[in-house]
Amino acid sequence: MLYGVDVDEWVWRPDVRLLVGLIERLPYEPRSMYRARSLGDDAWFGWTTEAALLAEMVDMQAFAAAAAAVNKKARHKRIVSRPEVKKQTRVVTTRDDVGAALDALLG
């Protein structure tokens, strides 16, 4: 099942535009293992833009509190741990090889 669509059923239909569109959407879905692995680590699973902004806000609040305490050694540091993006040697899109993407998706 992919977004509530039975992939096995849609693969054999003559018009697979919906299926291709859903596969192209996978890199943008926060709860997509495809996205997490393409960013380099399973730690990215569920990591949304909102979570990243909230983590940055927490870090900046801590920095502001340290700076307001007249701490000359106040530094901006990350309090909330975040997943890091690993460098990719090749950028892969589903349009490069839809067959390989379907094979990876279906196992």
- Sequential DSSP letters for 35-101: HHHHTTSGGGTT--HHHHHHHHHHHHHHHHHHHHTT-TT------S----PPP-SS---TTT-HHHH
Confidence of residue 1 (pLDDT cuts 50, 70, 90): low
- pLDDT tens profile 41-85: 888 888 888 888 898 898 888 888 877 777 667 777 777 777 777
pTM of the predicted structure, to 2 decimals? 0.47
- pLDDT tens profile 24-47: 888 888 888 888 888 788 888 888
Confidence of residue 95 (pLDDT cuts 50, 70, 90): low
